[in-house]
Copies of this chain bind each other. A is one copy, B any other.
Amino acid sequence: MSETIKKIGVLTSGGDSPGMNAAIRSVVRTCAYHNIECAGIYRGFQGMIEGDFKEMGPRSVNNIVNKGGTILKSARSKEFMTPEGRKKAHDNLKNAGIDALVIIGGDGSFTGGLVFNKEYNFPIMGIPGTIDNDIFGTSHTLGFDTALNTVVEAIDKIRDTASSHNRLFFVEVMGRDAGHIALNAGIGAGAEDILIPEENLGLERLLESLRKSKTSGKSSSIVVVAEGDKIGKNVFELGDYVEENMPEYDVRVSVLGHMQRGGSPSCFDRVLASRLGVKAVESLLEGKSNFMVGLLNDKVELTPLEQAVKGHSEIDRELLRVSEIVSI
């Protein structure tokens, strides 16, 4: 099938993440390396529907390997959920001579790609781009490592002020369905406790842990809370609850928010993006379709997209234990 692919389209979809630009660059240059054409598709599936394409050569992606965000922009597309929308998209791809797609995004984007593939037998390949690391089939999603560094740097700053005032801080980090960011950044930032969606040990245990922390002689404390934790209170209510029950603590709350999605990618994410981009294009050229390229045991591997979408990226239970020990 590789002979039939003369031009690959690349798009970013869903929430942006650091490393997407490095992946775009890699896709574009791998196309050039193999002497096939490449088109950038703006604003994800919506740009496919609107025919918002741009021819891209190796020089189109100069000086973007270190930039956060995505030069191709991202958007949600309700229209792509309709057969009419996908028909338009397909017509545009055909008119532009695009034979295959590299989709950089998360679960939702991959699902959209699968539907499109089923209807039009259009070759697609996925690259996992999201800071949440919640995709099955890869140990690291693009942007996860960068987000962890962003979070620990922010909490390091909060720690300065926390320990100057002997305060207890609740810091909310991203992760609606997955505690990967909270768990890793919590250990990295030396958090006294970490609350994640995958595990709800209840309010009473939290109070106990904080009491222990206090009696152990700690003068300040940080609790890292994933957005999607299941403790039954949002992070502000949680702060109030703890302050009521432990008046010895001066409690503050900080929600790190959208800055977690941005920033210049870490070296890890840039290298990962470069590797995944090469593999995605070369896999398409080998006639493969409906796979996600990912990192497994430090090697770039393919996982069927359906599995990537259905599977669940479990947190590492060892880390929960490590967190408990090192926060003593």
**Chain A interface residues toward B at CB < 8 A:** 12, 15-16, 18, 20, 25-26, 29-30, 32-33, 58-59, 62-63, 65-70, 73-75, 139, 145, 148-166, 169, 184-185, 187-190, 216-219, 252-264, 266-268, 270-271, 274-275, 277-278, 297-298, 300, 318-319, 321-323, 325-328
Contacts and interface: CB of A to CB of B under 8 A. Distances in A.
A190 B270 CA distance: 9
Nearest to A62: B218
Contact of A261 (B157, B217, B268): B157
Contacts of A66: 152, 156, 159, 189-190
A154 B26 contact: no
B267 A185 contact: yes
A61 to B, nearest CB: 9
A119 B18 CA distance: 51
Contacts of A187: 270-271, 274
A70 B15 CA distance: 30
Contact of A139 (B33, B58, B152, B298): B298
In order of increasing CB-CB distance, the 6 nearest A-B pairs are A157-B262, A160-B262, A68-B160, A69-B160, A148-B267, A188-B267
Given A65-B190, A157-B263, A300 B274 contact: no
A275 B318 contact: yes
Nearest to A169: B258
Contacts of A63: 159, 163, 190
B188 A65 contact: yes
A268 B322 contact: no
A163 to B, nearest CB: 6
Q: Which interface residue of A62, A165, A184, A218 has the most chain B CB atoms within 10 A?
A: A165
B16 A274 contact: no
Given A139-B298, A326-B30, A270 B188 contact: yes
Contact of A259 (B157, B217, B264, B323): B157
A157 to B, nearest CB: 3
11 contacts: A65-B189, A139-B298, A145-B266, A145-B268, A149-B266, A152-B266, A152-B270, A160-B262, A188-B271, A274-B322, A275-B319
Given A26-B325, A29-B325, A73-B164, 6 more contacts: A29-B327, A63-B159, A69-B163, A161-B262, A188-B270, A268-B268
A166 B70 CA distance: 11
Contacts of A319: 271, 275
